[in-house]
Amino acid sequence: MAQAKGFFTDTSVCIGCKACEVACKEWNQLTGNPPAFLADSFDNTGRLDAENWRHVKFIENDAHLTAATTAGDGQAWLMMSDVCKHCQQASCAEVCPTNAIIRTEFDTVFIQQDTCNGCRNCIAACPYGVIGFSEKTGTARKCTLCYDRLQNDMTPACAKACPTQSIQFGDLSDLQTAADKRLAQLRQAGFTNAQLYGRDPDQVYGGLNSFFLLMDRPEVYGLPTGESARLPSRNNVGGYLGVAIAGALALIGAMLAFRRRRERPAGDPEPEPEPVRTPAGGGGES
Amino acid sequence: MLLAVHYAQPPEWRWYILAYFLLAGLAGGSYALGTMLRLWGRPSDEQAARLCFLMALPLTILCPLLLTVDLGHPLRFWHMLIDTGIAGPALNFKYWSPMSLGAWGLLVFGVFAALTFLEVVALDRRYPYPLSGFVARVLGGRAGRVVNVIGTVFALFVAGYTGVLLSVSNQPVWSDSYALGGLFLASGLSGAAALVTLCGRWRLGAEASDDVLHDADSYFAVLEVAFLVALFVTLAFAGQLARALMPPWVVLWAFAVLSLVPPLAGRLGGGLVVGSGGTAAIQRVRVSGTAVAVFVLVGVVALRAAVLWSSQG
C-alpha cells in the first residue's frame, strides 16, 4: 500500500472563500444543487451531500465576539471547510451490504460507483452526515479525496485551490506533525480552546485521515465528540438479543394459549370446528 | 447519563421500505403461526395452518421486490449477495451488517416458505393427479415438520431483524434503543394473527382456530406493550423521546398503541364493552372479528410508519 494520505484542515486560517467548494465541483463535475436562500449567514450550500463534497460552514458564535467585532456591529464566525473524514473505522463501510465502500491504496474511503446499488444504508450510518444519494447516478456519493488525482500523483482539487492553506494535503504522518506544530503555536498565542479533532486513533473512529484543527469544542462545529462517536455495530448484539427474547417469549405465549384451550373447563365448550374440506375434496393428509 | 448526539442525514427510507417492513413482519409471523398451529394445535387447526403457509410465500416474494424497487440501481440487487469487487466474484456475507444478513435471511426463509407452500398445495390436491400425492409424500409428514421448525427460526428472524437494521445506524431514535427488533417481531406476529383471522373467512375450516389465534394474539400484544415501554424508556434516557413523539408522528404512535387495546381486552376478559340503549345498563358484545383484525393491522402499519418517519422527519 502507498503511504497513507489525508487532509489536515486548519480552521483557524479559513476565510470562507469557498474556493475549495468550487474547485471540488469543477474537478469532480458536480453541478451542485439549485441555488436557495438558506438564511444561514453566508452559507448557501447547506450541507454535504451527493453534489457538495466540500462545504464551508459559517458558524455564528457570540462567544467569539471581541471588542474589535462588536465595535463595528459585526459578527464573529467560526469557519470550517467540512469534508468526508475518511475514518479509520468507517461506519459507512461497516454497514455497506455490497462491499462497494472500500479503503484504497492511499488508505482513504472510497465508494465504488459500479458496485453501489443505492441502498442508502451508508447514509443512515455516517455520523458526520457526509454521504448523499444522487438521483442522477442512483448511487451514494461523497468525497473521494480526488482518488483519480492521487493515482496521478496530483494534489486534490480543494487543497490545490485553497488560498490560505487551510486545507493541507499530504502523507498522514507529515500532516500530523504539521498539525502538532500549529496547535502549539496557537496555544502559545493564547487560543486555549484550540484543539485537534481526529488526529489521534483513540479520539474518534480510530483516527481520521481527514482531521481538523478546531478553535472551539467539536460540538460547536457539529461534530460528534469522542463519547458520542460510536460505530453502528454497537447495536448488533443488543438488537438481536431483543429479537431472540421476543421470539422466545412469543413462543411461550403461544404455547400457553394452546394449553389454555386444551385445559378449557367443560362448562366453557370449545367452538365447534368447521368440517375440514378442501375444494377438491381432499385434505387431512397431514 | 450520556445524551445521544446525532449529525447523520436521513437515508430517505419511505413507502417501499414501510411496505417491506410490514410484509416481512406478516410473512415471518404467518409462517411461525402456521408451525405453531401444526405442532401444538388440534387436527382441526390444520386448515388455519395451511392458510398461514399459503400466505407466507406470496408475502415473502413481495419483500425483495419492494426492496429492489427502492434501490437507486434496482438491476444491481444481486450485489447484496455477490461481491463484485476487484478480488473477483465471491459470496457477499457480512454478518455484522443487518442488511447483508437480512438479504441472506430473506433468501433462505424464501426457500423454506416455498417448500411448505408446495407441500400445502399438494395436501390441498391442487396439482394434477398423481403429482399431489407424490409431493405430499416427499415434502409432508416428518420432513415437512422439520422444514416447518427450521423455517420458523428464519421466519422469526425475518420478522424481527428489520428493527435491528434500523438500530445498527447512527440515526436519531433508531440507534438509541435495542428494543426495535423485538418490537417489530411482536408486532409482526400480532399482525399475522389478525391477518389469518381475517383471511380465514375465505378458507373452509380455518375459523376453527380463531379462538386460539385470538388468545395467542393477546400474548403477542402484551409482549408488544413491554417492548414499546422499553423503547420509550431507552429513548427518554437518550434524550430522543420528544423527537420520537413530535407531532404529527404522535398520531401514528397513538394508533399503534390503540390497536393493542382489542387483543389486550381479550387477555383481560373478552370482548369490548359497549353501552346498550335498552333497559340493561351495559351489554357485553363481541366487536366484529373483521373490524378488530383490520384495526390491529392498521396499528402494525402505524407502528412502523411512526418509527420510520419520526427519525427521518
Closest-CA distance of chain A to residue B203, Å? 8
Whether A259 and A142 map to the same domain: the answer is: no
Domain count, chain B: 1
- Find, in chain B, the residue whose alpha carbon is nearest to that of A259: B40
Give contacts of A139 with chain B, Cβ < 8 Å. 72-73
Give me the domain span that covers residue A104: 5-230
The predicted pLDDT at position B126 comes to 82
Q: Which residues contact A267 (CB under 8 A, 6 or more apart)?
A: none
The predicted pLDDT at position A70 comes to 59
Confidence of residue A285 (pLDDT cuts 50, 70, 90): very low
Evaluate whether residue B2 is within a structural domain. Answer: no
Whether A114 and A237 map to the same domain: the answer is: no
Mean of the per-residue pLDDT values for chain A? 90
Query: Which ipTM was obtained for this model?
Result: 0.92
Of the candidates B141, B171, B215, the beta carbon closest to that of A257 is on B215
Would the CB atoms of B80 and A242 count as touching at under 8 Å? no
Whether A127 and A261 map to the same domain: the answer is: no
The predicted pLDDT at position A63 comes to 65
Whether A239 and A155 map to the same domain: the answer is: no
For residue B122 the three cell numbers come to 399438494
Please check whether residue B220 is in contact with residue A250, taking contact to mean a CB–CB distance below 8 angstroms: yes
Mean pLDDT by runs of 10 across the 313 residues of chain B is 80 97 98 97 96 98 98 96 84 96 98 97 86 87 95 98 98 96 98 95 92 94 97 96 96 96 76 43 52 94 98 93
pLDDT at A93 over 50: yes
Quick one: which of B288, B91, B170 has its CA closest to A126?
B170
The predicted pLDDT at position A275 comes to 45
Would the CB atoms of A117 and B100 count as touching at under 8 Å? no
- Find, in chain A, the residue whose alpha carbon is nearest to that of B70: A119
3-state secondary structure chain B: CCCCCCCCCCCCCCHHHHHHHHHHHHHHHHHHHHHHHHHHCCHHHHHHHHHHHHHHHHHHHHHHHHHHHHCCCHHHHHHHCEECCCCCCEECCCCCCHHHHHHHHHHHHHHHHHHHHHHHHHHCCCCCCCHHHHHHHHHCHHHHHHHHHHHHHHHHHHHHHHHHHHHCCCCCCHHHCCCHHHHHHHHHHHHHHHHHHHHHHHCCCHHHHHHHHHHHHHHHHHHHHHHHHHHHHHHHHCCCHHHHCCCCHHHHHHHHHHCCHHHHHHHCCCCCEEECCCCCCEEECCCCHHHHHHHHHHHHHHHHHHHHHHHHC
Would the CB atoms of A254 and B36 count as touching at under 8 Å? yes
We report the CATH number of the domain holding residue A178 as 3.30.70.20
Other CB atoms closer than 10 Å to residue B258's CB: what's the count?
Answer: 13
DSSP for residue A168 = E
Closest-CA distance of chain B to residue A250, Å? 6
The H-or-E segment that residue A175 falls in is helix A172-188
Give contacts of B124 with chain A, Cβ < 8 Å. 278-280, 282-283
Of the candidates A240, A254, A276, the beta carbon closest to that of B47 is on A276
CA dist., res. A168 & res. B29, Å (int): 55
Would the CB atoms of B72 and A134 count as touching at under 8 Å? yes
Whether A244 and A191 map to the same domain: the answer is: no
pLDDT in tens, A148-166: 999 999 999 999 999 999 9
Would the CB atoms of B72 and A117 count as touching at under 8 Å? yes
Closest-CA distance of chain B to residue A195, Å? 20
Domain count, chain A: 2
Closest-CA distance of chain B to residue A133, Å? 8
Would the CB atoms of B140 and A227 count as touching at under 8 Å? no
The predicted pLDDT at position B265 comes to 85
The predicted pLDDT at position B89 comes to 86
Evaluate whether residue B300 is within a structural domain. Answer: yes
pLDDT at A273 over 50: no
Would the CB atoms of A239 and B163 count as touching at under 8 Å? yes
Residue of B5, B125, B170, B201 to mutate when probing chain A, most A C-beta within 10 A: B170
CA dist., res. B171 & res. A129, Å (int): 10
Whether A168 and A130 map to the same domain: the answer is: yes
The predicted pLDDT at position A35 comes to 84
Query: Which 254-283 residues of chain B touch chain A by CB within 8 A?
Result: none
The predicted pLDDT at position A72 comes to 59
Evaluate whether residue A277 is within a structural domain. Answer: no
Between A197 and A73, the higher pLDDT residue: A197
Evaluate whether residue B27 is within a structural domain. Answer: yes
Of the candidates B132, B189, B210, the beta carbon closest to that of A250 is on B189
Whether A168 and A248 map to the same domain: the answer is: no
CA dist., res. B52 & res. B73, Å (int): 33
Evaluate whether residue B80 is within a structural domain. Answer: yes
Whether A204 and A159 map to the same domain: the answer is: yes
The predicted pLDDT at position B282 comes to 36
Would the CB atoms of A116 and B73 count as touching at under 8 Å? yes
pLDDT at A270 over 70: no
Of the candidates B7, B33, B170, the beta carbon closest to that of A232 is on B170
CA dist., res. B156 & res. B30, Å (int): 10
Of the candidates B174, B186, B206, the beta carbon closest to that of A250 is on B186
* pTM, two decimal places: 0.91
Evaluate whether residue B48 is within a structural domain. Answer: yes
Whether A70 and A148 map to the same domain: the answer is: yes
We report the CATH number of the domain holding residue B253 as 1.20.1630.10
Whether A160 and A243 map to the same domain: the answer is: no
pLDDT in tens, A111-151: 999 999 999 999 999 999 999 999 999 999 999 999 999 99
Q: Which residues contact B164 (CB under 8 A, 6 or more apart)?
A: A235, A236, A239, A240, A242, A243, B98, B180, B181
Give me the domain span that covers residue B167: 15-312
Evaluate whether residue A274 is within a structural domain. Answer: no
Task: Report CA dihedral (A41, A43, A48, A53) to the nearest 10 degrees.
Answer: -150
Evaluate whether residue B10 is within a structural domain. Answer: no
Whether A258 and A138 map to the same domain: the answer is: no
Give contacts of B33 with chain A, Cβ < 8 Å. 254
